[in-house]
């Protein structure tokens, strides 16, 4: 390799290392800014406390199915469904009875939009752009949160809690 070629090679290596270091620092900075919340999560519990008995009620069954995603760019999606999922007797999604359609609607929940963290208040602020529930569209939903390892808990844990576990490759 000529002297000029060696210099060019060293410059490429240094540039590659610089880009990789900058990317890593940006990711670390983003993770710190987002309180470790950035990631995809599987829902494991959707519960409200019964005001009379004090017991937790599973609103979407004992083992709900679904995911929540909090992206570093500030976008967010959430969807979960009751298990077992409601079915239609006619096996035709467009031919459900009123009762079947109601059960399907009440057995599924979804929203999407933007999110940000208020670490001082330990709150995730969800700016809902679209939701299955029409009254939630274009609203702001604040949720207290707690991160413990790969577990994200949303809600005040006195009246409501939504528990998610980080999805790992």
| CATH 2.40.128.280 applies to domain 36-166 | yes
Check residue 91 and report its DSSP letter.
S
CA distance 132 to 13: 50
Backbone angles phi, psi at 107, to 5 degrees: -95, 10
Distance of alpha carbon 144 from alpha carbon 21, whole angstroms: 34
Question: What is the residue extent of each domain of the chain?
Answer: 1-33, 36-166
What integer pLDDT is reported at residue 33 of this predicted model? 58
- Tell me: the pLDDT tens digits for 128-163? 999 999 999 999 999 999 999 999 999 998 999 999
20-35 mean pLDDT: 43
Q: What angle do CA 47, 50, 51 make, to 5 degrees?
A: 135
d(CA 23, CA 25): 5
Average pLDDT over residues 51-56: 95
- Per residue in 67-99, pLDDT tens? 999 999 999 999 999 999 888 998 888 899 999
SS3 7: helix
Rounded CA-CA distance 157/168 in Å is 25
- In the prediction, which pLDDT does 158 show? 93
Whether residue 43 has pLDDT greater than 60: yes
């Amino acid at each position: 390799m000529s002297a000029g070629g060696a210099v060019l090679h060293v410059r490429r290596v240094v540039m590659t290392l610089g880009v990789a270091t900058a990317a890593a620092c940006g990711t670390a900075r983003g993770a710190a800014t987002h309180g470790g919340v950035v990631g995809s999560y599987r829902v494991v519990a959707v519960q409200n406390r019964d005001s009379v008995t004090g017991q937790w009620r599973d609103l979407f069954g004992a083992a709900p199915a679904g995911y929540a995603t909090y992206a570093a760019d500030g976008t967010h999606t959430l969807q979960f469904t009751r298990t077992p999922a409601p079915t239609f007797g006619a096996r035709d999604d467009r031919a459900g009875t009123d009762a079947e359609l109601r059960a399907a609607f009440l057995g599924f929940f979804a929203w999407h939009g933007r999110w940000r963290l208020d670490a001082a208040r330990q709150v995730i602020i969800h700016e809902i752009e679209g939701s299955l529930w029409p009254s939630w569209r274009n609203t702001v939903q604040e949720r207290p949160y707690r991160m413990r390892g790969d577990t994200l808990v949303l809600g005040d844990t006195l009246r409501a809690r939504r528990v998610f576990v980080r999805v790992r490759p």
